[in-house]
């Protein structure tokens, strides 16, 4: 690039070009400051919709004002990374089938940070966030023009749908902000709300996490309420149903491109096959099979609990021996779910 051409390209466009070059699918810029959705988020927590996720209440000051994570923070470079919405639905939510997105995206945002410093020619204070702090990344993403809040609470982009991760790099640079995404393109559609098997949506854009299958199979550490177990069906970790039915995903979601997000071998197969594999694993196989996987968040007892519920819903008499064998060494919480599954099959 000649110096004359370079001078005609804004630093904002150079940053975006580099972000796309690093593999991100979406990028926008916004100015930091008071978060528009912070009060609604705090009301949501006060209503008990966060369940056991007590950590969400921490860092309230930073959540209310995105300039507070470090002194001098002015702008946010907000990115989106597609994780594939074209693959067949299955017992494991698409986002969790490969490697942990937190690590991959954080590394790339830090690489972008280093590039910005080299391009600017002096040190730039910055901090990357990928679900790793009290920053409302979804709020920043809408303000950066990346999409609108769908009725299922996910950010929806008109060219990509909602099967993408959001990350943000906060910097102490005065950057020209993109126009926020003001339109609501859900219209009168309520397919996501009506499709939820457990009735987790209190209203449009209000999710009761304590009824959400993703929460029940990932975040909840104790027993899954008996009245919700049948509705979980063959799902073992997470849920994509409200995204699967969204017309924007039906039309615009893409194949998974990142090699790191490809499905792991142990997760190949339909619900019963995956549930049997998870219920059969010991501590060593859990550690090796799920090294670097977001599924480690549920820990081995959580995955065994989920597998037992799935087998209770989609298994048959050929699974009884496996369930009884797993019961011998399982903790009390897992045993109650295995007993429920055995009773269902019998």
Q: Which of 144, 127, 166, 155 is nearest to 31 (CA)?
A: 144
The verdict on 297 and 155 lying in the same domain is no
The verdict on 166 and 42 lying in the same domain is yes
The verdict on 202 and 318 lying in the same domain is yes
Q: Is 331 a catalytic residue?
A: no
In the chain, how many domains are there? 2
Q: What is the pTM of this model?
A: 0.95
The verdict on 161 and 305 lying in the same domain is no
Classify residue 74: in a domain, yes or no. Answer: yes
Reading the chain (346 residues) residue by residue, the pLDDT tens digits are 444 445 578 999 999 999 999 999 999 999 999 999 999 999 999 999 999 999 999 999 999 999 999 999 999 999 999 999 999 999 999 999 999 999 999 999 999 999 999 999 999 999 999 999 999 999 999 999 999 999 999 999 999 999 999 999 999 999 999 999 999 999 999 999 999 999 999 999 999 999 999 999 999 999 999 999 999 999 999 999 999 999 999 999 999 999 999 999 999 999 999 999 999 999 999 999 999 999 999 999 999 999 999 999 999 999 999 999 999 999 999 999 999 999 999 9
Q: Where are the alpha helices (DSSP H) in 10-87?
A: 11-21, 38-46, 60-64
The verdict on 159 and 203 lying in the same domain is no
Determine the structural domain holding residue 88 and report its residue range: 3-171
Q: Per the residue annotation, which of 25, 99, 131, 282 is the catalytic one?
A: 131
Sequence-ordered list of residues with C-beta below 8 angstroms from that of 156, at least 6 positions apart, any chain: 147, 148, 149, 150, 162, 185, 186, 246, 248
Classify residue 124: in a domain, yes or no. Answer: yes
Per-residue tokens: 23: 């593999």
């Amino acid at each position: 690039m000649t110096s004359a051409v370079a001078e005609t390209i804004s630093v904002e466009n150079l940053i975006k070009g580099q972000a796309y070059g690093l593999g991100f699918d979406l990028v926008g810029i916004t100015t930091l400051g008071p978060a528009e959705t912070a009060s609604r988020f705090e009301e949501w927590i006060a209503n008990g919709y966060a369940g056991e996720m007590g950590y969400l209440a921490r860092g309230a000051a930073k959540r209310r004002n995105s300039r507070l994570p470090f002194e001098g923070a002015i702008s946010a470079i907000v990115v989106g990374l597609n994780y594939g919405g074209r693959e067949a639905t299955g017992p494991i939510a698409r986002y969790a089938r490969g490697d942990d997105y937190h690590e991959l995206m954080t590394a790339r945002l830090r690489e972008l940070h280093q590039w910005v410093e080299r391009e600017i020619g002096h040190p730039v204070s910055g901090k990357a966030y990928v679900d790793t702090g009290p920053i409302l990344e979804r709020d920043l993403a809408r303000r950066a023009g990346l999409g609108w809040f769908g009725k299922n609470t996910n950010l929806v982009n008109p060219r990509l749908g909602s099967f993408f991760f959001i990350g943000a790099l906060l910097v102490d640079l005065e950057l020209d902000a993109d126009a926020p995404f003001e339109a609501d393109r859900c219209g009168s559609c309520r397919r996501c709300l009506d499709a939820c098997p457990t009735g987790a949506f209190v209203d449009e854009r209000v999710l009761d996490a304590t009824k959400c299958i993703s929460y029940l199979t990932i975040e909840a550490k104790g027993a899954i309420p008996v009245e919700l177990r049948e509705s979980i069906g063959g799902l073992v970790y997470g849920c994509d149903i409200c995204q699967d039915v969204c017309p924007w995903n039906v039309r615009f979601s893409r194949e998974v491109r990142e090699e790191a997000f490809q499905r792991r071998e142990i997760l190949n197969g339909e619900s019963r096959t995956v549930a049997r594999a998870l219920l059969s694993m010991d501590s060593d196989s859990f550690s090796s099979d799920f090294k670097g996987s977001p599924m480690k968040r549920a820990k081995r007892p959580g995955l065994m609990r989920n597998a037992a519920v799935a087998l209770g819903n989609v298994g048959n008499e050929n699974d009884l021996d496996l369930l009884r064998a797993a019961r011998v060494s399982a903790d009390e919480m897992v045993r109650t779910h295995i007993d429920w599954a055995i009773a269902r099959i019998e």
